[in-house]
Structure 1
Amino acid sequence: MHDLVIRSARVLTARGFGAAAIAISDGVITTIEPVDAVLPARTDITLPAGQVLQPGVVDTHVHVNEPGRTDWEGFASATLAAAAGGVTTIIDMPLNSIPPTTTVAALDLKRQAAAPQATVNVGFWGGAIPANLGALQPLHEAGVFGFKAFLSPSGVDEFPHLSPAELETAAVEIAGFGGLLVVHAEDPAVLDRSENAGGTAYADFVASRPDEAEDAAIARVIDVVRRTGVRAHILHLSSATVLPRLAAARAEGLPITVETCPHYLSFAAEAIADGATAFKCCPPIRDEGNRELLWQGLENGVIDFIASDHSPATRELKLGHGGDFGLAWGGISGLQLSLPAVWTAARDRGLPLDRVLAWMTTATARFAGLDSGAITVGAAADLVAFAPDETFTVSVDALRHKNRVSAFDGATLFGRVHTTWLAGAVIFAADATGASARPPAGQLLRAR
């Protein structure tokens, strides 16, 4: 007797989309059978026509901000937003919480905050800052998934960036225990040369963080990887000009991976109005030609996957400076919308849903070393019923994020999440009415 059977005319397995029945017991997929197979179960569900059954999204780049800046976001709101967007696992960045996750004690505080609130599974990145170099291994042994470093100022004083010499020191240390270095790659010297007076002109904001800043910083990371052998990952790639450099590093066999984000794949600078600080992020959203080259980078494998870089703040910090890009907080709130946003942009380019899901489920899970992101026997039943042909218009009032601000407000997107299951239990249902019991708690994850 199975706990649950889900049947659908379109289930994404290793063979692609096809009709199947998925049987689940004790939170794990126990068998995959033909859609009409006889499978005794306590609950047997057939998805309506138009809904596909897919793995839950694994989002490896989320800023939850708790503890310390919980008015920006928190584990309760962030993980509810994740579930509503078909995301079943997030990995939390070490800033902008206070304290940042740069010590084992700070990691323990994160876990204490997340444990009673998490609707989805939550893992944690550690941070590499000047003050904790030489003391990173205890965090590694405590289960962080790797170490985030900035090469330029992070925007918060408690998480300073690494100098070139400090980056090398961190890389040697992390390579020594087999860890992973993840990098916000913008060169501070280029940013200093490009600094301007700010203001409401979006073009001026982009000019203050030019392609050259990413190119120079990524060149430095590649050199460090070559010298130290550290595994490194480039976060939120915005500039396509660096793709040939990254392709050459791959051809050389260097252990370096790359992500980009839904906002870089969805928007273009030409369509961003002056004063529209909801679109501010660092590095910035660039022009339409750059966006198309990022899509090419995904298709040809130079870019490995897509993560949200959900980086919320209060409405006042984001919108309260009269449209001045120099003063507004830089970050896009996109966790709940990442799947439909990417699917909408991919659909416009004739790309199939299984390609999108590979970039947001299988590849991200593999990168994090997780046994999730796929519908296969023995995997956790972290699943989503998704209607790829349904459309909806984004309203910030319908979002589960704590501060309902989003660059996607007013956009019409394809793809509606109807149901999200975590370990076989419903954690989100679009058609739920009235009061419901608190969803089952997500698990706190440790890197292996």
Structure 2
Amino acid sequence: MLKSFTLLYVEDDSSTVRSFINAFGDYFNEVIIARNAEEGLELFEKHSPHILITDLQLPKMSGLEMIAHIRHAHPSFPIIVNSAFSDTHLLLRSIALHVDNYILKPTDPYQLLHVLEKIARIITLEKKLNTTREIMQTMIDGIPDPILYIEPDYTIAMMNQAAKEQADDSVLVNKCFNLAQKNLPACSEDGSSCPMNSVKKIKQPVTMRHLRKDKEGNKRYVEVHMRPILDTEGEITAYVEITHDITQYLTVQDRLVAETEKLSHISMHDPLTHLPNRRLFMDRIEQTIQHKSRTKEIFGVFFIDLDHFKEINDSIGHSSGDLLLIEAAKRMQKVIRKGDTLSRFGGDEFLLIIENGMTVSHFSKIAEKIQKLFQEPFLINEHQVVSSCSIGISLFPQDGKNAELLLSNADKAMYASKNGGRHQFHFFDPKLMV
């Protein structure tokens, strides 16, 4: 899919460039390398690439300045930032420029590949989500971290302005737990232990995650960094607490996890019917072979091909042909059970794994049910379309003990159904497949 795209890659580190070319060079029609932002702008105007990947920390002109130039003339151009983000302000500014995605260094190649595939296929849909604006909002809502200097009896001896702003005006803030509007020395809504108690025991800094409420009553997740102040005898005389609000970061993290899951689903499913694609089907059949090899049970592989689909597609149009494939997939899903796998293998070809079949007659009944599904015409764009299917069936292990042989023999059986007049099914039989 990426083979038809040209990529502009802006990176000043030679070893990083070599690693990128080795990993992704063959995926694209062309990868154009720029060593700095000025060269990136020049090559952008000269070659009009489809996608840009850039670091932010570049010599002379920064990556952010280059992105700003490109965004001014091309507001929707897909841009991926690949940077270590050592400076939070760089992350905030890149979000403000509406980059399409960002990958933290060291780069996970599988994550980057998923992002590139997503941009190549659904960039227009992803832009509608406007995720960058939401992330920017969560980031700019952050304030300097509250700092407390606490005496052993929980009295706050000193606090910074951020900590003062955290307190409710109606609460007398003289004990550290009063900041969380508590009457007892506990500061977490989820019952987490007090970090001071942990520091007392080990006399070492500790970091804990707490759930707290702000003065508006909103729940916030914070990391509490507590360290002891020791005297010359090694005894604790006070504590320094730094509270870092990580709610925004957890939100971003959740979004990234959700995005990863979404990309994984896209890579494993057919975009038209949303059925498992060839890649996922091959994984499922390998798993089924391993399982049935241990249990000594049989399972069936159905190769299903719509009859005269090319003629139907030519007569009603490709968009209507796509709707026919979608409706055919929906009907076939009605006869499969949990544990079975229906896949669109390509074109008008579907593959089906029936796991829980004990006899040949069981697979015959499934094939008959599938063909009965096609007896009622399909309503496509207010037109009735009559279709049928030819089915070939191979059984494990008698017709093959590996995926390639099972698929090949099911395909041969399907062609026997085609040659026999279509709208029928055949089991693989070496005698009939000559």
TM-score (norm 2): 0.25
Higher relative contact order, structure no. (Cα contacts within 8 Å, ≥ 6 residues apart): 1
* Larger Rg computed on CA atoms: 2
TM-score (norm 1): 0.24
Greater share of helix residues, 1 or 2?
A: 2
